[in-house]
């Protein structure tokens, strides 16, 4: 549309055709008086500014009247707080009129600028997914990009397998001190708080809740989280599911600033960012599985090589040493020192062979492929009993079928192995129990619990630097599971690992 000219747009002498053009214009058109106040505004201008004619007439305008040259084509920007309290970004052009007043053309570019911000955020988030080697760093970056957009006060990215399961916060921005957030939210759920992001998980679609903060602040069931949730200045809430290949991996929760409710373009932006987060989680999981398979295949190859070469040679060495000892005994030839040497060679060969077979089994527990996880653990437990005297009982229901992949079984086996190693080495226990079971609402998850009656100590348990415990936890988290370890009220130590249904399968 042609910029306003020097004549008044809607004065008493304006032609009817001009008035009609002004009224049907989709852009805002206004006449400002000598003091820069609104004198006349067309219908579109009233809609953009959010105020009616009576409220707007004589109201100071945000436009810089008096600084423009006649017929200026310079576009400027300014801010305006509309009748609903929301701040808007306006673009305008202004021209002085002959009578000292000014004509202004203006339009609302708030959503356009936000869309540009969102597109930039999507681009940066995509780059972070491609470049970052750390899942937590990637998801923190995605959360920050969402938070940086104009109308978002805070963001959380959470992973969860099932609405009834515990969750993990894997990305966050905009909050203050969030120490203990996961535990506090779990407590709120136990108190019966209405956790709306559960709907996003169950329905696999966005959940939009306006004026959510006041509800949380007034509900005693949210007491454990009120301090954390009160710090960001927010009002509305959106929970966007993280979906990839038909599976819901978690949610992206966005907390909107007061007076700025989520619109269609904002929801589309959150959906795009949720897709990036879901891809990052899935990619990290696939990479971890790929690395795990490569490592296990390398171990299996090394185990085969050791078994086919070194083990056989040591076995032959032992046989030769025993034959030499038998020959010396029969012929009574040679001195005592020769017999002692032969005896020592037999012992060394026997010990070396036992150690090497143990190493081969550590590299590749063949029982897993032949007998399954539970029976392989029973076999290993029997070996522990024979070597250490520790009584180890394995408990599993007769009809229990775990239906696990080989990679998952091996990680669970290693967790049991490490836990029993700690019991033998540090706990001074007389008995250990290993329990296999199912978990989850549909019984599709897997739990393994290892307990002992010892002193309740593990390696470096006081300093929190137990590398074995870290390794066990990493193996559980590789399958999006969790591991807890600690002393039992009645004495002893317990390690429990739980894998969700989808990961277990």
Q: Quick check: is 307 in a domain?
A: no
CATH of the domain at 423: 3.30.565.10
Buried b (16+ CB within 10 A) or exposed e, 68-94: beeeeeeeeeeebebeeebebbbbbbb
- Please give, one letter per residue, the 3-state secondary structure of 85-154: CCEEEEEEEEEECCCCCEEEEEEECHHHHHHHHHHHHHHHHHHHHHHCCCHHHHHHHHHHHHHHCCCEEE
329-355 average pLDDT score: 68
Is there a single domain that holds both residue 149 and residue 51? no
Judgement on whether residues 39 and 95 belong to the same structural domain of the protein: yes
Higher local confidence (pLDDT), 170 or 224:
224
Per-residue pLDDT averaged across 71-94, rounded?
82
Of 120-134, 199-213, 247-261, 460-474, give the lowest mean pLDDT range: 120-134
| Domain contains 356 | no
136 and 216 belong to one structural domain? yes
Q: What is the pLDDT of residue 136?
A: 73
Distance CA 29, CA 195 (A): 47
Return the pLDDT at 88.
Answer: 85
Is 128 found in the same domain as 219? yes
* Average pLDDT of the segment spanning 235-263: 87
Check whether residue 66 and residue 164 sit in a common domain. no
CATH of residue 276:
3.30.450.40
Task: Indicate whether 149 belongs to any domain.
Answer: yes
Average pLDDT over residues 387-413: 83
Q: Residue 329 falls within a domain, yes or no?
A: no
Same domain? For 269 and 201 the reply is yes
pLDDT at 350 over 90: no
Domain end: 108, 138, 167, which one? 108
Residues 6+ apart with CB under 8 A from 453: 429, 430, 431, 432, 491, 492
In this structure, what DSSP letter does residue 442 have? T
pLDDT at 332: 62
Residues 6+ positions from 199 with CB-CB distance below 8 Å: 207, 239
Identify whether the C-beta of residue 380 lies closer than 8 Å to the C-beta of residue 416. Answer: yes
Both 147 and 284 in one domain: the answer is yes
Q: Is the residue at 436 inside a domain?
A: yes
Note whether residue 281 is domain-resident: yes
Q: Are residues 43 and 101 in the same domain?
A: yes
Last residue of a domain, one of 288, 303, 321: 288
Strand partners, 394: 434
Q: Mind listing the pLDDT tens digit for each residue in 84-104?
A: 777 888 989 888 888 888 889
Please check whether residue 70 lies inside any domain of the structure.
Answer: yes
With 80 as the cut, is the pLDDT of residue 149 above it? no
Question: Residue 418 is part of which domain span?
Answer: 367-505
One domain for residues 453 and 386 = yes
For residue 402, being part of any structural domain is answered with: yes
CA distances from 362 to 179, 300, 367 (A): 39, 10, 11
pLDDT, tens only, 164-208:
666 778 888 888 888 888 888 888 988 999 999 888 888 889 999
State how beta strands 102-108 and 28-32 pair. antiparallel
Do 123 and 207 lie in one domain? The reply is yes
| 144 and 276 together in one domain | yes
Q: In this structure, are residues 369 and 379 in contact, taking their beta carbons and an 8 Å threshold?
A: no
Do 499 and 479 have their domain in common?
Answer: yes
> What is the tally of structural domains in the chain?
3
Structural contact between residues 403 and 505, judged by C-beta atoms closer than 8 angstroms: yes
Domain boundary among 76, 108, 140: 108
Give the CATH number for residue 51.
3.30.450.20
């Amino acid at each position: 549309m042609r910029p306003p000219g020097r004549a008044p747009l809607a004065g008493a002498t304006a032609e009817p055709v001009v008035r009609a053009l002004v009224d049907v214009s989709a852009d805002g058109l206004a006449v400002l008086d000598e003091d820069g106040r609104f004198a006349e505004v067309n219908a579109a201008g009233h809609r953009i500014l959010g105020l009616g004619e009576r409220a707007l007439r004589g109201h100071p305008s945000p436009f810089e009247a008096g600084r423009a040259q006649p017929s200026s084509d310079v576009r400027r920007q300014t801010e305006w707080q509309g009748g609903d309290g929301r701040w808007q970004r306006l673009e305008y052009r202004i021209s002085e009129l002959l009578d000292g007043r000014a004509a202004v053309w203006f339009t609302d570019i708030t959503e356009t600028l936000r869309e540009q911000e969102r597109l930039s955020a999507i681009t940066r988030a995509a780059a972070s997914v491609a470049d970052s080697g750390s899942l937590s760093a990637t998801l923190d970056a995605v959360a920050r990009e969402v938070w940086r957009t104009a109308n978002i006060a805070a963001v959380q990215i959470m992973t969860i397998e099932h609405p009834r399961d515990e969750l993990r916060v894997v990305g966050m921005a905009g909050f203050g001190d969030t120490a203990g957030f996961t535990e506090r939210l779990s407590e709120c759920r136990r108190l019966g708080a209405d956790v709306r992001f559960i709907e996003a998980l169950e329905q696999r679609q966005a959940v939009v809740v306006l004026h959510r903060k006041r509800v949380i602040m007034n509900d005693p069931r949210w007491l454990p989280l009120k301090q954390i949730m009160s710090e960001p200045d927010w009002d509305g809430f959106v929970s966007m599911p993280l979906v990839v290949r038909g599976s819901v991996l978690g949610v992206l929760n966005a907390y909107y600033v007061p007076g700025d409710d989520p619109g269609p373009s904002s929801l589309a932006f959150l959906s795009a960012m949720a897709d990036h987060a879901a891809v990052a989680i899935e990619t990290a999981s696939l990479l971890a599985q790929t690395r795990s398979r490569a490592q296990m295949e390398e171990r299996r190859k090394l185990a085969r090589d050791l078994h086919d070469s070194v083990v056989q040679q040591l076995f032959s060495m032992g046989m030769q040493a025993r034959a030499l000892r038998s020959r010396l005994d029969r012929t009574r030839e040679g001195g005592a020192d020769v017999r002692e040497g032969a005896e020592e060679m037999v012992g060394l060969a026997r010990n070396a062979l036992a150690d090497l077979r143990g190493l081969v089994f550590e590299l590749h527990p063949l029982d897993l492929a032949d007998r399954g996880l539970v029976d392989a653990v029973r076999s290993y437990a029997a070996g522990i009993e024979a070597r250490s005297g520790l009584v180890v009982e394995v408990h599993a229901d007769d009809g229990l079928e775990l239906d696990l992949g080989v990679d998952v079984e091996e990680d669970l086996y290693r967790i049991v192995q490490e836990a029993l190693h700690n019991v033998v080495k540090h706990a001074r226990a007389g008995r250990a129990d290993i329990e296999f079971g199912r978990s989850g609402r549909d019984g599709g998850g897997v739990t393994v619990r290892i307990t002992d009656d010892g002193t309740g100590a593990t390696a470096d348990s006081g300093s929190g630097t137990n590398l074995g415990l870290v390794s066990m936890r990493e193996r559980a988290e590789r399958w999006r599971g969790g591991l807890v370890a600690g002393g039992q009220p009645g004495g002893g130590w317990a390690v429990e690992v739980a894998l969700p249904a989808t990961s277990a399968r």
